[in-house]
Structure 1
Amino acid sequence: MNLKRTIISLFFLFVLSQAFPQHVISWKFSLQDKGNGEIELVADATIQQGWHMYDSKIPDNGPYPTSLSFDEIKGAEAVGDFNATGKQATVKYDPVFQMNIGTFDNSARFIQRIKVTDKGSFLITGDVRAQACDDKSCTPPLPNEFSFTSADLPKTFTATASTAVSETEAPGTAVIPVGNLSQDSSQISAPATAPVTVDKELLWTPVTEELNAFGTQHDGSSSLWSIFLKGLLWGFAALLTPCVWPMIPITVSFFLNRNKKVRRKAVADATLYGASIIFIYVALGLIITAIFGASALNNIATSAVFNLIFFALLLVFAMSFLGAFELVLPASWTNKMDSKVDSTSGLISLFFMAFTLALVSFSCTGPIIGWLLVEAATQGSYLAPAIGMLGFAIALAIPFTLFAVFPSWLKTLPKSGSWLNSVKVVLGFIVLAVSMKFLSVADLSNGWGILNRDIFLVLWIVIFAILGFYLLGKLKFHGDSDVPHVTIPRLFLSVFSFAFALYLVPGLWGAPLKPISSILPPLSTQDFKLNEVSLNTVYTDYETGMAVAAQTGKPALVSFGGHGCVNCHKMDATVLVDERVKGLIDNEFVYITLMVDERAKLPETIEVEENGRKTKLKTVGDKWSYLQRHKFAAQSQPYYVILDHSGKPVAPAHAFDENIVNYVNFLETGLRNFKK
């Protein structure tokens, strides 16, 4: 009991601490006197909880390192490299990039030593770039600018006698209108230059209204319907647990005995009781969303620490379901609710009875509710948690209302017995299997490499094989009775369990296992694969790719990604290499991939106005990141959009989603609309 209370308390303390995310990385710049005419430019970074940023020393072909560049430097010269100081980076092996990479959590400090050659004309301007990632997305390495003049030098600074005038200026900054942003795109190599000319200014025109007209991939009604149906199914499953099933005849009999002479009154009370159950669970979903907000819930649900905590909670529940110990809420809670029922009447009494049911059944419904809320949180919709709870509560409330209306049906209900314990054990195996998913997310985020796809599949094969033997009566857990013969339901369930375990076996050799691809770790973590698949033609320049699309008469599939975007690599390794997805892209689309953290310098710095302030675009990655923000009002990666030859979308945008069926639907929708 104390263990349970402690776990719940720790869980909610973590949720509260994660509820309101601030800026992912905030920077503070300062100058420090180091003597002998030298100073240090100090860049202090504060990193949001749950995110990490990369070190300045990253091997080639790795993610975007933290870096400094000078736009203008007068009366000074840089000495040495831009390096981290004080707190050392945490170096871990990254299975995606297959190299050791240093990262920082919470905070970091970087310095650049500078030799002042002319105190009177001293001027330095530039920026620091860093990429922050969590287990779901990465931010683009946008510039964080600094500027210091001689008036900003430390008061203790004294120029040396040998100080001479020396100026090193960076290339000039060209101010180019947004409509001409495409004029420098030729520095990106492309397979060929299409003879078709395109209206480049039109290609950069914002299309947020057109995208909004299509709706969004994850906030649409289909997602809410999916959450509702999942809630409904899990609500019916919760009815079969030992905590809920015995309550049906007990509660309905109570209503009928309370109003023996007026059956209509009993039916009305039972109906209000069912409505109270629905109200309680829907209110739970609304309260959670109101407190934390949809985006905060999504950040929490995809946090590595949260996934570890939820893995531990599900593991505790699974052990309890398998008979290791009994989890119950403090008796004082239910006793207090019982006293409220006795001391009140009317609607209030019915409400407290419904609340008592929620408390009594929590030890069985807790993991189901938690899993459902996590699933709903990743939808990014304010309504999703409430919709999920609505489906769950409706399924839970239906039997109480129906059996009150038709009390004779109570005689047909199976009596409580050992079969309920078997249901609980089966649920324990399922919860144990599901918990692996949350451990996998934490493992990928931290780069431990302890739960790659092969190990995950082996664990699931063993879990469902053992479940099959249990259903056949070959294993026995605490609370189980002897199985004199195998019933038809147990036989069918055991066949399904063994069949599912065998279905997983080809995955050990790299089979995609499409129906469960969104649950499994990415294929890139697989130690052994029979074949490697990649797309035929990929364009890395927006205007060139759009010109090829116009020439070939195909729609353009534009992908915004990043070298350091883990989820982009997941999508490449699991979804885009799927035979059906690859066939559609190779044959029906012109595929353009734009890396927002590409470090190649633009021929000229481009200055644009954004959100009321001027922003300098200095690298190719800056340009593609600005394109994504300016044209599509989005800045997370991966991000996919299908465009016609004038740069307008023909389907809703698609974000990170390892469900292959969803991606195929996205492609087919865009292709169908384009052909119209």
Structure 2
Amino acid sequence: MQLARLLLALLTLSRVLIAGPGEPAVDVFDPQSDVPVEVLLSHEALAPGAPARLAVVYHVPANYHITDIANGLFYVEADTLDGLRLDNIRYPEPIVDSHGDKVYRGSVIVTADIALDRDVSADLPWTVRAGFQVCSETGALTCYLPVDLEFPLEFPMVASPEQMRPLHPEIFGETMAAAEPAAEEGLQGRLDAALAKGSWIAFLIVFVLGILSSMTPCVYPMIPITISFIGARSGNSRWTGFIQSVWFVVGMALVFSTLGVVAAASGGVFGAAGQSPIFLVGLAVLFLVLAASMFGAFDLQLPNTWMEKLPSGRKNGPAGAIIMGGITGFIAAPCVGPVIATLLLFIANTGNLVNGFFLMLAYSLGMGSLFLVIGTFAGALNMLPGAGSWMETVKHFFGVVMVAMALWFLRTLIPAEIMVYLVGGGLVIFGVFSDAFSPLPEDAGHGPRFMKAVGIIAVLLGARYLIFGLGSPVASMVAGTAGPVASAQKAEVAWTVSSPESDTHDALLAAAAAEGKPVVMDFWAEWCVQCKELDHETWSDPRVMEEAARFTTIKMDMTRTSSDWAKAQNQGYTIVGMPTVIFFDASGHEVRRFNGFHKADKVLEWMREVR
């Protein structure tokens, strides 16, 4: 390249020296000042491991052009630092002039990828070098001396891709859309996008999510308890019921807001305790106890000794309502895991304690709005004539739901061949108590007839599950109990497991980069309920397995969350819960991630986008 530059410089100088009559020996055109060159970045700041780009823009004036790349004078390069380099430099398509030469005219934009390793955390000074030779297209058709420029760059570092503010969409808009980690479609994706923009609408979205979360099955057990608890403390006064409900919501808010602050302060993993076998068994036992209460085995209420110890000995003090609200928040947490994971992931990445507190406060206020309405009218409901009969029906319904929820939380701890018989037996018992075998009186109304029909259907389904076992449809709803590799019962994606005992993922990533293969990393844990669902329903889908054949597939076994290895992965990849699945393209850039369970069709769509 140095020899080529020297020869072209001598050629240019000779053309100036031998200029004929009418051709001035000195041209007033100065390529260094008359061809502006600027370096633009795709983002204000960079995050370790996140994709970003750089553009060098040459503003070539009219009647001039830049010579072809083959001459070695038109180039873009940069220092290669430890963990920072310039990759995939892309030049625009040249124009062929009337002499058959390849040239560049107008605004010439050269783009490149900025490769920033995940272990880079400090701001790095960086120098980008750009060179060109420009020639005139009128008069003496002069080619000027080559120009070499240096651009010292300093860009700040941020913790996560969500904090990277985009710049120059007119240049990077279309190209960066394919390179940046794509947001998930649906409500969770829109929430991520709104939170990343810092819009106040994010708080409204979170509030609405809280309202929707209050309709999940985990909240059902607390509805009759709330009616009984607040109704007994408020009498028939709506105002007193409203005040008690406010304190109830405060209890929920304290639980979720504390989670938000802890997430912002630590950035640690959430969900491990909430999905551990001990927690799941305890939760199932709690649901069965609550179900027994709904069926009339006993009345569930705060002990009188607790009531007597409330502040000032007042029955309508705030302490009891706050405690009940906090309990409700803990009980509801398993059902709203994906939403909470999204919120905590964003909060942990930003590290903003204030935003973390108020986001979770908005969420808890939304979830508590249902209880605010129920609690306000709890006293009136208890005073309604005939409330006892329909309230008993409501309690029985919730009792059935709670038994089903207990089995649901145990589905990954109990082998499928046993679970299917438990479900079948439960359906038969439900059918019997729904008067499936009791004769109807001649004047029976629509309600008894409907319940008898439901009971008969439940008995028939239960009998089918008991007779056919794993051959029945319910078996597909029960996740297996195999480890992180494919189980013998159902094949799935051929994973290579990386764990504290066998840390293989760095070597696998390096091999994938050398071969130009995309990568999928599944952060998995033995205690993780949704991980088993993902294994059983998604990774075992034949279409997903076929598509995964072109990927390097890595299963990160995070079961031992307290190990130094797991903690390092949590911090390095910003993992706040399992399952977390990350896709990397062939260049090693993260292009998408998702949390929680997703069906095979959606995951297959995402996989096909990764190249």
Instruction: Name the TM tier (shorter chain).
Output: 0.3 to 0.5
Question: Could you say which structure has the larger radius of gyration?
Answer: 2
Larger RCO (alpha carbons 8 Å, 6+ apart): 1
For normalisation by structure 1, the TM-score amounts to 0.44
For normalisation by structure 2, the TM-score amounts to 0.48
